[in-house]
Structure 1
Amino acid sequence: MNKQELAKYFDHTFLKPFATNADLEKLCKEAKEIGACMVAINTTWTKFCKEQLKGTDVHVGAAISFPLGQAGLASKIAETKIAIEDGADEIDYVIDIGQAKMGNWDYIKEEMEEIVKICRENNVISKVIFENCYLTKEEIRQVALIAKEVKPDFIKTSTGFGTGGATVEDVKIMAETVDGQVKVKAAGGIRDWQTCKAMIEAGASRIGTSSSLKILEEFEKENA
Structure 2
Amino acid sequence: MFSITERDLAATIDHAILKPELTRADVDAELDIAAEWRVFSVCVRPSDIAHAVERLAGTGVNVGTVIGFPHGTTSSAAKVAEVRQALADGAVEFDMVINIGALRSGFDDAVVADIQAVVAAAAGKATKVILETSLLDDEQIARGSRLTEAGGADFVKTSTGFAGGGATVPHVELMRSSVGPDVQVKASGGVRSYADALAMLAAGATRLGTSGSAVILGEARRVDAGEQASGAVDTSSY
Question: Which TM-score band (shorter chain)?
Answer: over 0.9
How many residues align? The count is: 222
2:12–2:208 Cα contact (<8 Å) kept: yes
In structure 1, the residue corresponding to 2:129 is in which secondary structure? strand
Residue 187 of structure 2 contacts residue 207 of structure 2 at CA under 8 Å; is this kept in 1? yes
**What is the SS of the residue equivalent to 2:160?**
coil
Letter in 2 for 1:188: G
The answer for the alignment partner of 2:187 in structure 1 is: 186
**1:116 touches 1:126 (CA, 8 Å); kept in 2?**
yes
**Partner SS, residue 63 of structure 2:** strand
The within-5 A match list for 1:93-172 is: 93-119=96-122, 121=123, 123-172=124-173
How many angstroms does 1:54 deviate by?
A: 1.1
Query: CA shift at 1:105, angstroms?
Result: 0.5
Q: In the alignment, which residue of structure 1 is the partner of 2:60?
A: 57
Whole-Å separation in 2 of the counterparts to 1:181 and 1:150: 13
Q: Give the 3-state SS of the residue equivalent to 1:61 in structure 2.
A: strand
RMSD, aligned α-carbons: 1.1
- Which SS does the other structure have where 1:148 is aligned? helix
Answer whether contact 1:171 1:184 (CA < 8 A) is retained: yes
Residues 72-93 of structure 1 show CA distances to partners (whole Å, capped at 9, x for unaligned) of: 2111111111111111010001
Give the TM-score taking structure 2 as reference length: 0.90
Q: Secondary structure at the match of 2:163?
A: coil
Alignment partner of 1:190: what SS?
A: coil
CA distance in 2, matches of 1:150, 1:107: 10
CA distance in 2, matches of 1:71, 1:152: 18
Measured in 2, the distance between the counterparts of 1:25 and 1:124 equals 25
Correspondence for 1:34: 37
Tell me the equivalent position of 2:72: 69
1 CA distance for matches of 2:73 and 2:45?
15
Which of the numbers 6, 9, 13 marks the counterpart of 1:10?
13
TM-score by length of 1: 0.96
Which consecutive residues of structure 2, in runs of 5 or more, have no partner in the other structure? 227-238
CA contact (8 A) 1:157 1:166 kept: yes
CA distance in 1: counterparts of 2:88 and 2:5, whole angstroms: 35
Residue 89 of structure 2 corresponds to 86
Deviation sequence 1:6-63 (CA, Å, 0-9, x none): 1111101111111211112112111111110110111010111011111232111111
- Runs (5+) with no aligned partner, structure 1: none
Report the CA distance between 1:149 and its aligned residue: 2.4
Distance of 2:149 and 2:90 partners within structure 1: 27
- Tell me, in whole angstroms, the C-alpha distance in 2 between the residues paired with 1:204 and 1:16: 23
Percent of residue pairs identical: 38
Partner of residue 229, structure 2:
none
